[in-house]
């Protein structure tokens, strides 16, 4: 059964809050994965470890800034205001990423550019991966529930 979306203020506020909580979970997962990769890199080389930490933090901070800019607008705001918030947040995120990469390559000596860039990409893509995995898990759970209901119907 598909859930229909109602557009009363309570539902919009609830959806806004759920989206905000999901964004927080994504940022937390990015931060946890950043630390895990940096600790793993410690077994290879200290330079690789702090390069991975730097790349992961660039992605995490940029996404956290974007989430802050997007969710500072309330659910009751006009659609144009919400859309402008997303566009401005994305623009600032791109500028912030560029500035942080510039600082990383200029200020951190020595730095493993390959590790920094790979860890940035992996961490940056974490929300997409978490989303796909959670959709797959939710879809499988839905199939199990549907199969159980069908079996009960046949048995009943």
Residue 72 resides in a domain: yes
Shared domain for 87 and 41, answered yes or no, is yes
Question: What pLDDT is recorded for position 71?
Answer: 84
pLDDT for residue 155 is more than 70 = no
Shared domain for 18 and 41, answered yes or no, is yes
Question: What pLDDT is recorded for position 42?
Answer: 94
What does the alpha-carbon distance between residue 100 and residue 123 come to, in Å, rounded to a whole number? 15
Shared domain for 58 and 88, answered yes or no, is yes
Query: pLDDT (tens digit, 9 = 90+) per residue, 26-69?
Result: 999 999 999 999 999 999 999 999 999 999 999 999 999 999 98
Host domain of residue 73? 10-124
Q: Where are the alpha helices (DSSP H) in the chain?
A: 9-42, 46-71, 79-107, 113-124, 126-155
Question: What pLDDT is recorded for position 22?
Answer: 86
| Domain count along the chain | 2
Shared domain for 55 and 109, answered yes or no, is yes
Shared domain for 120 and 134, answered yes or no, is no
Question: What pLDDT is recorded for position 1?
Answer: 44
Q: Where is 3: in which H helix or E strand?
A: none
Two structure tokens written together for 114 = 């390959």
Q: What rounded mean pLDDT belongs to the chain? A: 83
Question: What pLDDT is recorded for position 130?
Answer: 78
pTM, two decimals, is 0.76
Query: pLDDT (tens digit, 9 = 90+) per residue, 101-129?
Result: 999 999 999 999 999 999 999 999 988 88
Question: What pLDDT is recorded for position 147?
Answer: 53
């Amino acid at each position: 059964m598909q859930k229909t979306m109602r557009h009363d203020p309570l539902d919009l506020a609830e959806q806004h809050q759920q989206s905000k909580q999901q964004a927080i979970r994504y940022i937390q997962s990015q931060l946890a994965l950043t630390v895990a990769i940096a600790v793993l890199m410690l077994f290879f080389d200290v330079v690789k470890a702090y390069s991975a930490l730097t790349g992961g933090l660039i992605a995490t901070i940029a996404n956290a800034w974007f989430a802050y800019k997007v969710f500072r607008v309330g659910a009751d705001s006009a659609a144009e205001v919400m859309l402008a918030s997303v566009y401005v947040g994305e623009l600032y995120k791109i500028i912030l990423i560029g500035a942080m990469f510039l600082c990383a390559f200029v200020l951190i000596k020595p730095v493993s550019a390959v590790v920094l860039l790979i860890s940035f990409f992996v961490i940056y893509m974490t929300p997409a991966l978490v989303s796909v995995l959670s959709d797959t898990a939710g879809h499988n759970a839905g199939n199990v529930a549907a199969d159980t209901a069908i079996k009960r119907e046949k048995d009943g």
